[in-house]
Chains A and B, each alone.
Chain A
Amino acid sequence: DVKVTQSSRYLVKRTGEKVFLECVQDMDHENMFWYRQDPGLGLRLIYFSYDVKMKEKGDIPEGYSVSREKKERFSLILESASTNQTSMYLCASRDRGRIYEQYFGPGTRLTVT
């Protein structure tokens, strides 16, 4: 079974803090993604990575950065957290040869106060 894990289920941070959200997959997938999910807005793509050390901006990259130093790990960084970044963050991965199967982690619910 493919497993995508995220470092925390729930996280509370203060405005201005630097926040790291970690995602790890155990299936040697090349492609990894970060989405945020908000009520009434669905899922929106923040950043994605085709492979190690590669990154591409999604639809809403402002206020975020990413790091992919190892194939299994994709980190989302909030440089200076703001209250409008309170959201559910979902990580996903897929094999580049099986693009029809994208697997999601359980999500991290981040609250910025």
Chain B
Amino acid sequence: GEDVEQSLFLSVREGDSSVINCTYTDSSSTYLYWYKQEPGAGLQLLTYIFSNMDMKQDQRLTVLLNKKDKHLSLRIADTQTGDSAIYFCAVQGSQGNLIFGKGTKLSVKP
């Protein structure tokens, strides 16, 4: 079945850029997603990218998709303490559901 892998932790200093990486096994997903989960909260859709795109930019967020390597990344520019959260990469499964990675916990140090 589909597998989505991401590193579990990332620590950056406030003002730096954060890059969270994700790899997946099945390239048939039409959309690929990044979700954010703040402590004690549900998941919030941060951004998504259509599979025929290489890049999508949305304010401080840049998503890069390398279909050949099955690699998705999320770059957060000028990272703030409010960006501290768990970030989940997700792809669509064959039944239309989402398949999530285990999540990357981003810690932002002042």
**Interface of A with B (CB < 8 Å)?**
4, 31, 33, 35, 40-43, 45, 48, 56, 58, 90, 92, 99-107
Q: How many A-B residue pairs have CB under 8 A?
A: 53
Q: Tell me, yes or no, whether B97 is within 8 Å of chain A by CB.
A: yes
Query: Which residues does chain A contribute within 8 Å of B48, judged by CB atoms?
Result: 100-101
Q: Tell me, yes or no, whether B96 is within 8 Å of chain A by CB.
A: yes
Q: Which of B37-69 contact A (CB under 8 A)?
A: 41-45, 48, 50
Query: Which residues does chain A contribute within 8 Å of B96, judged by CB atoms?
Result: 31, 99
**Interface of B with A (CB < 8 Å)?**
8, 30-31, 33, 35, 41-45, 48, 50, 88, 92-93, 95-103
Nearest chain B CB to A76's CB is how many angstroms away?
Answer: 15
User: Contact between A99 and B92 (Cβ–Cβ < 8 Å)?
Assistant: yes
Query: Which residues does chain A contribute within 8 Å of B101, judged by CB atoms?
Result: 42
Query: Which residues does chain B contribute within 8 Å of A104, judged by CB atoms?
Result: 35, 42-44
User: Contact between B45 and A42 (Cβ–Cβ < 8 Å)?
Assistant: no
Query: Which residues does chain A contribute within 8 Å of B31, judged by CB atoms?
Result: 99-100
Query: Which residues does chain B contribute within 8 Å of A41, judged by CB atoms?
Result: 102
